Amino acid sequence: FLGIVFNWGIIICSVEFFGKITLEFFIFYLACVFWTIGYDTIYAFQDLKDDIKSKIIPKANAKGRSPLDVSSAIVVVITLVT
C-alpha cells in the first residue's frame, strides 16, 4: 500500500490538469508505485538482521528470497511499465 499512497499525487495532478486520468500519467503512476516498492524492499533487506533478532517476520525474506532476486524483479517490472 505504501507505493499506492505515496504516489497518489500523480493521479490527482492528472485529474486536476486534464479532467481525467491520462494514459501517460497512469503509466508514470505505475512506474512510481513499483519504484517505491523497490526502494522499500531494499530498505527492508537492510533491516533483515535486526528484524530476525526481534523475532519479526520480515516480508522481504518471508519466503527465503535473496535481495538480488527481488531487486532485479522490481527493476524488470519498472522497465516494462515504462
Q: Give the pLDDT confidence of 6-64 residue by residue, as tens digits.
A: 999 999 999 999 999 999 999 999 989 988 888 887 787 787 788 778 887 766 665 66
Cα separation, 34 vs 75, in Å, equals 8
The C-alpha cell that represents 14 in the structure block? 492528472
With cut-offs at 50, 70 and 90, classify the pLDDT of residue 1. confident
Whole-Å CA distances, 13 to 42, 60, 82: 28, 32, 19
SS3 content of the chain, % helix, strand, coil (to 5): 80, 0, 20
Looking at residue 8, what is its pLDDT? 93
